[in-house]
Amino acid sequence: MRVAGTRPPEKMIRRGLGTGLPENVLDRVVSEFTPESVGLYTDKCGSHVWDGPRGFVLTTDDEELPPGLQRRFAERLGGQWAVELRAGHLPMLQDPVATATAVDGFLNA
């Protein structure tokens, strides 16, 4: 990561993050991709625990984070609410209506 940074190759973006996206949207994701700071992966986190409600949108067709791993993360983080969407890693781009409905469902749960 220190040498290559956090920007994956275009091929990986297309194959992983871009699963299920139309070609024109995927082209824009690739061209506008902004890598995360290395510190996001290497800096220590504080001990603060979020005491508000926690919910998760799990994506069943995600090539970056398989559904089982998503469920484990949600359990570890104490998710009290979850919904599954048939989408890839970027459901807000693939199916914005279903994503908005899921978020609304969480806010009104």
CATH of the domain at 30: 3.40.50.1820
CA distances from 41 to 1, 72, 101 (A): 9, 19, 31
User: What confidence score (pLDDT) does residue 74 get?
Assistant: 93
What's the CA gap between 65 and 54, in Å, rounded? 19
Task: Please provide the average confidence, as pLDDT, over all residues in the chain.
Answer: 92
Tens of pLDDT, residues 56-89: 999 999 999 999 999 999 999 888 899 999 999 9
Residue range of the domain that includes 96: 10-107
User: What confidence score (pLDDT) does residue 97 get?
Assistant: 98
User: Phi-psi region for residue 77, left (φ > 0), alpha (ψ -120 to 50) or beta?
Assistant: alpha
2 within some domain = no
The whole-model pTM stands at 0.84
Domain count within the chain = 1
49 within some domain = yes
101 within some domain = yes
**Residue bearing the bigger pLDDT, 30 or 109:** 30
5 within some domain = no
Smallest Cα–Cα separation from 2: which of 48, 37, 52? 37
User: What confidence score (pLDDT) does residue 42 get?
Assistant: 87
